Chains A and B, each alone.
Chain A
């Protein structure tokens, strides 16, 4: 036996066997980890890889692929993956898997580390798309706030024409009377001035006195004419006041007529109601679906393009293949595991067929069917057709959520409308062509337990009627349509819920209308009466006072005028002049007393002129004193 020939060959065979037995699988595991990490950009953990050659088979145990975007979380994890390669295509360097099985699949599980590769730049957390931010911002509760504000506004006196007119009239007459009082005050001052001049005239010589009195009489005459004119104006106020009261009454009637029209305008916008109540949920659901599509698309593109070799030696020439087969083809993959459906782990099963690196060669689209069982059944069908030049992905999903969802609009400490949805049935139909997405998501649900609370006590009655009306709604249907680029589609939500709620509000208004109308009518009448009383009370007294003051001034001026007339005619008795002056009332009490004293003395002098001797005797003591001082 030529051992020197046999032994080395045996050693080589042994080395090859040892490599295949102990080194090949670890090497394959290392290659798989490196390849997947290059594709996903995050850590990949594979417990072990097992291979077999007869028949060719490949198994991966306990693998976890970390999420690039979410540190500490696995994007995908499975317990085992087994697949067999078809022998004939393998001889032609084509990897064709007739059937593969992946078990224990879970998504979003936690890791012990962050799962990020060292030295890789971590991208920022995916930003919320702008269309979603815009839609969530628009879905406000202002329709509810507007409703209560409008209802409250109906009871606001400023909305009543009669109230506004009443305030206006009050202001007008206040200004008028103030003006008239001012003018009368001026007249009073002028009369006072005339009186003062008359006092001064009293000290003058008798003849001068008369002249002065005549002048003052002229002035008084003018003043009297002006004062009479003013009196006429004051008396002329009454018809105008009557006219204004008539206007006020008409305004009250107008307000009552407009009550009905205003209430009809209170019906809220159906679109705003829909967006407010269910818009958030639907937009978020849509965003979730689009995120899945986008992620799948990005990985599909990564897998499609070949990894460039680090050092390519030479160039590969391709020749015609008689029986062409895609380089990589998986005819059927059975997947089983758990999905988190509504935060509940739910077993699922899926079948993925015709996944290939060359769909155009295969001529069949890839198809994924996934189903769950349990209280919330879920069915998903995704068809990815890359057999043509333009890639098209169709997604159809049906999902029933048995958990109750609460709807709410408004704020807990303000006006708030809440209700419950149960047994929600979601149906999604989306089509993705290149980067354009088009489709519709519909939801149908049971509606119940509506509650409507308002902060304003005046609107509480109406809220009660509204709530009672909403209990008649039992079913809700909504749909969200989208069309446009996947990153920024045009999204619109429609639902019969908005119309039903709005109709409920309108029905409540109509039922509550008589009460509301009566309330408003009473309010209107009350305001009008209040305005009338205020006007009558305030200005009636001032009118009377004004007339009285005016009359007094006129009387005083009248006496002066009479005196002037007498003096002109020469028939004035000086005694009467002074008497008239003192009795004219233009003098104050004190002055009146002095005037009376003067009159007495004058009378004495005048009597003395008739009997000088007697007068001299009476005045003698005084004269003696003056002469012999």
Chain B
């Protein structure tokens, strides 16, 4: 039984525990970015890979993506305006044409006004989200850990840890 529980416990720890406030904040910021961008295109997938490859906290990122994805349609008019302005701008036409003729790029759907606009909005809000969320995580991450231990699942996992530690001590 302990062989089954251990990987799960480690996975849970990796997702929600043992992260610095900086990692939590980075996860939050990337979650906001990915949450803004409409899914179903290569751009969202690439951002997800970037998220997975970074040291950001994946749990916070996943939760943020979920929440922001529900909110982002409300910002579609703004994203559409921004994206349309960029895509029709004469000075950028050559850039877009080059990108459009580059392999793989059409799959990113960058030529869609909402996709581009949301991406720009997400990139713009990336650093502010990080900077604003980091103090919050610094202040509340310890309390968050204490709060998490109130749940029987957390205690169960930690109880197993103690059992392991005791058996090894013997």
Contacts and interface: CB of A to CB of B under 8 A. Distances in A.
Nearest to A89: B103
Interface stretch (B93-101, B130-138, B157-165): B93-101
A320 B11 CA distance: 48
A175 B131 CA distance: 135
A322 interface: yes
22 contacts: A5-B55, A7-B11, A7-B14, A8-B15, A8-B58, A9-B52, A91-B104, A91-B107, A313-B112, A313-B115, A314-B112, A315-B80, A317-B84, A317-B87, A318-B111, A319-B93, A319-B97, A319-B111, A320-B97, A320-B100, A320-B101, A321-B101
Contacts of A320: 97, 100-101
Contacts of B106: 91-93
B19 to A, nearest CB: 9
Contacts of A5: 14, 55
Contacts of B73: 313
B46 to A, nearest CB: 13
B34 interface: no
Interface in B64-117: 73, 76, 79-80, 83-84, 87-88, 93, 96-97, 100-101, 103-104, 106-107, 109, 111-115, 117
Contacts of A323: 101
B14 A4 contact: yes
Can you list the 10 inter-chain pairs with the closest CB atoms, starting with the nearest?
A314-B114, A91-B103, A93-B106, A4-B14, A314-B113, A319-B100, A313-B114, A319-B97, A317-B87, A314-B112
B111 to A, nearest CB: 5
B115 A314 contact: yes
A157 to B, nearest CB: 93
Given A92-B106, A320-B97, A313 B10 contact: no
Given A4-B10, A4-B13, A315-B113, A92 B103 contact: yes
Interface in B10-46: 10-11, 13-15, 18, 38
A312 to B, nearest CB: 9
Contacts of A318: 111
Nearest to B55: A5
A311 to B, nearest CB: 9
Given A11-B11, A91-B103, A316-B111, 9 more contacts: A8-B14, A8-B15, A91-B104, A91-B107, A313-B76, A314-B113, A314-B117, A315-B84, A315-B113
Nearest to B101: A322
B7 A4 contact: no
A584 B21 CA distance: 169
Majority secondary structure, B binding face:
helix
Contacts of A88: 103
Contact of B83 (A11, A314, A322): A314
A319 B99 CA distance: 9
B56 to A, nearest CB: 11
B111 A321 contact: no
Contacts of B53: 9
A160 B114 CA distance: 97
Interface residues of B, number: 36
A320 B115 CA distance: 20
Given A12-B52, A314-B76, A319-B97, A4 B112 contact: no
B76 A317 contact: no
Contacts of B10: 3-4, 7
Contacts of B93: 319
Nearest to A94: B106
B15 to A, nearest CB: 6
Contact of B112 (A9, A316, A322): A316
A8 B38 contact: no
Contacts of A9: 52-53
Contacts of A3: 10, 14
A53 to B, nearest CB: 14
A91 B99 CA distance: 12
A9 B111 CA distance: 31
A5 to B, nearest CB: 7
B80 A317 contact: no
Contacts of A314: 38, 76, 79-80, 83, 112-115, 117
Nearest to B18: A4
Interface string A6-44: 011101100000000000000000000000000000000
A9 B53 CA distance: 8
Interface in B113-131: 113-115, 117
A523 B84 CA distance: 101
Contacts of B11: 7-8, 11
Contacts of B15: 8
A315 B10 CA distance: 44
Contacts of A11: 11
Contacts of B58: 8, 12
Nearest to B7: A7
Interface in A243-274: none
Contacts of B38: 313-314
| Chain B CB within 10 Å, residue with most, of A318, A319, A323 | A319
A128 to B, nearest CB: 47
Nearest to A323: B101
Contacts of B117: 314
Nearest to A13: B52
A7 B52 CA distance: 11
Contacts of B111: 316-319
Contacts of A313: 38, 73, 76, 112, 114-115
Contacts of B80: 314-315
Interface in A498-551: none
A316 B83 CA distance: 10
Contacts of A319: 93, 96-97, 100-101, 111
A167 B160 CA distance: 131
Interface in A288-340: 313-323
A11 B10 CA distance: 11
A329 to B, nearest CB: 16
Contacts of A7: 7, 10-11, 14
Interface in A82-125: 88, 91-93
A322 B73 CA distance: 34
Given A4-B14, A7-B11, A8-B15, A317 B97 contact: no
Contacts of B97: 319-320
A201 B55 CA distance: 167
